[in-house]
Structure 1
Amino acid sequence: MNRVIIVLVTLAFLGVPSAAKITGTTITVLQLNICHGGMAGCYRGDAVMAKAAEVIRSSKPQVLSVNEACSGDVDRLRPAMGPARALFVAARDLDGTPVLCRGSDQHYGNIVMVATAFAGLAEESGIYAAQYTAADGHRELRAWACLAAAHLSVCTTHLSADNAPTALAQCRDLMARVAGYPRPAVVAGDFNLRDHGSPSMRDCDPGGFSRRGDGNVQHVYASDDLSFGRTTKIDMMGSTDHPGWLVTLTAPSPG
């Protein structure tokens, strides 16, 4: 099927002001791929939810990106996150309908949460124009979700698993979009691209952003008005096939 389906939802995005200054502030970003949809071999049922909640509570992130989640996971993870604005975006089947988690009527996709002290009201989400529709994993069209403005603009995504050139095109599409958001800006997710390969994750790196990866396919981008600090891989104890990826960022104080 060569048809391309684009789904875009935008709420309260027009007239977004520039991001407020957050100089001297440390921001903790937690990236998780929890494999909770039930379609992949890494699925371990609800064991991952308990582990994810434990990691969120212990790391206390202001930004949380979760891939391969079910729509009901937002409410299950929110108590561990604390007061936060959340946005879920579903991956889509080739006919445009939401992908469902196994044995459930819940949608399958990605979650982004931002602590209320940093979160804005603007929401934007959708799927990519570039899709490898022949055999892309479980034939889902990959999605992205962004919470923009206020003190921080934040996006999450999960890119195509079976075709690296498609994943690269998707990455470039998202980063071009984020370049137009108020700064500071952070993008986290499972990009299914590594630093070494052809194409590689480095082929996506845009001007104005720096990046740190977990040595595999999970990465965090930060606009250049943020500085990277400590990075940590977190053992998820077999509950999923990806480690947690924890990154600290700092908005440098002037002078």
Structure 2
Amino acid sequence: MRIPRSARRLTAAVAAVCGLVLALAPPAAAEPAPVTVEPLPVTAVAPMGAKAAALTARARSGRARSAAPAGAARGEPAGTLAARRFHELQLNLCNSGHAGCYADGLAVYEGGDLIYYLAPDLVTLNEICAGDLPAYLQPSLAEAWPDDWTYSVFYPALNKQTGAPITCTNGDSFGNAVLGRVPVALWQGVNGWAGEYTTQDSGNEKRTFACAYAIGDHLSCATHLSAASEPIALAQCQALMFSAVPAIRSAEGISGKTVVGGDFNLEYDTSDPENAQNCVPGGNTRKGDGDVQHVIFSNDLTFGSTSKYGLTYTDHDGFLVRLTKP
């Protein structure tokens, strides 16, 4: 549903790193606004080796993985540490149990299988339950990269009335996550960050973002923006890209090597004031799936190509962006 443009741009960000809550002030040009912050834990999985990964897969689910989808990239070389391929996979798995696209949890298995076969370096995830990560999604990435570290960070959408996490029908928290891989030789740990947008639509769900900084390697964020108002979705996108991400980079003392993915509920349309391109800062590039999913990355990452993968158990395609990391 489209609502006339009325929301002004929000620039406020908050975060939590390694359990330490940090309040990040908005730029001077923005109107200050209070923001609620919660700590964001990081789940890291050490390299397990190919044999152990195979045993873990069988013990975990007892189900055979489906055949590799057309265009899967299991055989693609990862490259050297100095210049390696750096692929980002965006997935909205519609697994809350509340939406009409819910398919009894099968989207998590389908998404996990796509993660395994494509072996991305990053996965940004929307509409998942907290338990989906340890149950299938992170193990799928760990199996794809058995000799490397993997990590995940999750942050829920929040209930406006209570401030408590929105829950899936199974009782788990419902929200966004970043799932990633770091070569063992480059592993220095991961810091987790999270925040909620001050500009929200009239619904009861407070939209949020989750970010992870793989120390010395890359920063990535995942978000799911307002579905009820394109002006508000754009304001949220601008808050993330023009305020939150720069604030996190400043706090971490980093520049570049940043990837943000998600269901923005915005399309690329130059005739629309709520064009997704309007939340892309200078020095960054956006690639979209032709619909509402987008990936924005800093220009020190080299763009290669994109692919879409049709999924049966969710209403969004899997969207892969192939980058190279110098």
TM-score by length of 1: 0.86
Deviation at 1:12, TM superposition (A): 6.8
User: C-alpha distance in 1, partners of 2:98/2:211?
Assistant: 25
Tell whether the 8 Å contact from 1:236 to 1:242 is kept in structure 2 after alignment: yes
Distance 2:91 2:154 in 1: 14
Shift in Å at residue 23 of structure 1? 4.7
- Per-residue Cα deviation, 1:222-250 (whole angstroms, up to 9, x for no partner): 1010111120000112x000000001111
Matched residue, 1:81: 141
List per-residue Cα deviations over 1:167-195 (Å, max 9, x = no partner).
11111111122134122111011111001
8 A contact 2:158–2:207 mirrored in 1 = yes
Deviation at 1:130, TM superposition (A): 1.0
Alpha-carbon shift at residue 40 of structure 1 (Å): 1.2
Q: Tell me which residue corresponds to 2:234.
A: 168
How far off is 1:38 after superposition? 1.2
Cα distance in 1 for residues equivalent to 2:132 and 2:14:
22
Q: Is the 8 A contact 1:12 1:121 kept in 2?
A: no
Amino acid in structure 2 at the alignment position of 1:154: S
Give the equivalent residue in structure 2 for 1:236.
Answer: 311
1:101 aligns with 2:160: no
1:49-104 deviations in Å (ceiling 9; x for gaps): 221111011100110111000000111211111141110000001121100001x2
Partner of 1:245: 319
Q: 1:61 aligns with which of 95, 117, 120?
A: 120
* Structure showing greater Rg: 2
CA shift at 1:116, angstroms? 3.0
Match of 1:17 in 2: none
SS in 1 for 2:205: coil
Note the C-alpha offset of 1:36. Answer: 0.1
1:18 aligned partner? none
When residues 98 and 12 of structure 1 are mapped into structure 2, their CA distance, relative to the original with a 3 A threshold, is closer
Contact 1:186 1:221 in 2 (8 A): yes
Specify every segment of 5 or more residues in structure 1 that has no aligned partner in the other structure, as ranges.
1-5, 15-21
Deviation at 1:121, TM superposition (A): 2.0
Shift, 1:11, TM fit? 2.2
Bigger CA drift: 114-123 or 55-64? 114-123
Matched, 1:143 2:217: no
Decide which structure has greater helix share. 2
1:41 aligns to 2:100 (yes or no): yes
The 8 Å contact of residues 186 and 222 in structure 1, kept in 2 or not, is answered as yes
Residue equivalent to 2:73: none
- In structure 2, C-alpha distance between the alignment counterparts of 1:224 and 1:114, rounded to whole Å: 20
Report deviation, 1:150: 2.1
Counterpart-to-counterpart distance in 2, 1:143 and 1:45: 25
For 1:126 and 1:36, how far apart are their aligned partners in 2?
A: 22
CA RMSD of aligned residues (A): 1.9
The letter for the 1-side match of 2:319 is W
Identity of aligned residues (%): 37
SS in 2 for 1:179: helix
Counterpart in the other structure of 2:281? 206
Which segments of 5 or more consecutive residues in structure 2 lack a partner in the other structure? Answer: 1-12, 23-80, 143-148
Q: Which moved more, 1:29-38 or 1:121-130?
A: 121-130
Once residues 189 and 127 of structure 1 are traced to their aligned partners in structure 2, the CA distance between those partners, rounded to angstroms, is: 15
Q: Which residue of the other structure, out of 195, 217, 241, is the alignment partner of 1:126?
A: 195
Could you tell me how far apart the structure 1 residues matched to 2:246 and 2:291 are? 24
For the residue of structure 2 that corresponds to 1:228, the secondary structure is: strand
- Equivalent-residue separation in structure 1 for 2:224 and 2:90 (angstroms): 11
For residues 156 and 96 of structure 1, what CA distance do their matches in structure 2 show?
A: 20
**2:75 aligned residue:** none
Rounded Cα–Cα distance in structure 2 between residues aligned with 1:198 and 1:209: 20
Runs of 4+ in 1 over 4 A off after TM superposition: none
Alignment of 1:216-231 (within 5 A): 216-231=291-306
TM-score when normalising by structure 2:
0.68
SS at structure 1 position matched to 2:158: coil
Query: Is the Cα–Cα contact under 8 Å of residues 165 and 199 in structure 1 kept in the other structure?
Result: yes
